[in-house]
Amino acid sequence: MELADKLRILTESAKYDVACTSSGTDRVCPSDGIGSACSSGLCHAFAGDGRCISLLKILMSNACCYDCAYCVNRVSNDVPRATLTPDEIADITINFYRRNYIEGLFLSSGVIGNPDNTMQLMIKTVELLRYKYKFYGYVHAKAIPGAKEHLIERMGMLVDRMSSNIELPSSESLRLLAPDKSKKDVLAPMRYISGKLKEKTKGFASSGQSTQMIIGATPESDLQIISLAEGLYSGYGLRRVFYSAYVAVADNSNLPAVGTSPPLLREHRLYQADWLMRYYGFKSYEILDKDRPYFNEYLDPKCNWAVNHPEFFPVDVNRADYERLLRVPGIGVKSARRILTARRYGRLDADALRRLGVVMKRAKYFIEGGMGISAADRPSAAAAALSAIGRAESAVQLSMFDVLPALGQTAPIEV
């Protein structure tokens, strides 16, 4: 098989893995090396599936010996197979870099024979880049579940970021759909990487680790998913949890039928909730609870929380602390910091808030001096104003009478 054909097959096979951001690392290039990686991230490019990347995103092999039902590369699936050698991947990466096609490499692989063999081949690839070609650009590599710890450590000393995909949100789903994997094998490399990072081992995966969950292939609720993500952030110190809307590629009674649309809105809501937990001080139980375990289709998680917690509002932007400001729809991390700085020099009115980046069409319902509406009317007015997203297919502005039932209300919310 020609090298170009292998490259086409293996880049196509890698597109379902979204856990490949590249910010948060600084690698200094010596005078005799090429490439660099910086904490501000890499230059942008666009993959065939629309994701913004600047990495050569590739599998070493899609000839996997595992039979995960949700995976297009499962051993029982009849698809074209290809395997690249370490020398071929290193040569492709360097040639693409010199042509300014890419800024770095995202390397993963199907399991070639067994996890240890796969990790050894991936390690050899990165060693060629670092030592033979003196490439100091960004490299993100996957830790293969089940591989020995000393191989995980060797890889960690070579790359900027590592990831070990948790794949499915529960042990039961993993047992049902990925019989060759176990929760222990999936979490073991994540735990080991976390330990090395906590020890601040010099040169080990300076950009930390990430993971990916497939969304919509199994019946777990949104609450279960964000609670798991919260636990991964606190327990393993992950930089990112990525959520990938399941693309139905397998004819299996335990999975959505082939042709089912990926749950893209749900994926979007998960990223919004993830952002709230990482940067806005929200806990998973605040965003969703056992009575409402799924995201609102019409409101983003922050607006949904605000509408359902009228006792928290209105907020005085001229006196509230940073954490309280972050709870106001329309006020983000940057605008909250700007407010804290600007109000030292005088009171802020609506025009000043707009200039600071506050989205007043949202914030005006939740701040003092905004709309001037009564407390009793505030939640229903906010629900009406914040419902513009509507259903993607209808593109119709919704009224509060449409939104309140979606919030679980049959009447305007009581204060």
| Pair 137, 37: CB distance under 8 Å | yes
**Structure confidence at residue 91 (pLDDT):** 94
- Residue 398: pLDDT band (50, 70, 90) is very low
**Structure confidence at residue 127 (pLDDT):** 97
Average pLDDT, the chain: 83
Among 113-117, 178-182, 265-269, the minimum mean pLDDT is found in: 178-182
Mean pLDDT of the 221-238 span:
95
What is the tens place of the pLDDT at every residue in 274-299? 999 999 999 999 999 999 999 998 88
**Structure confidence at residue 102 (pLDDT):** 84
Distance CA 125, CA 130 (A): 9
Mean pLDDT of the 58-85 span:
90
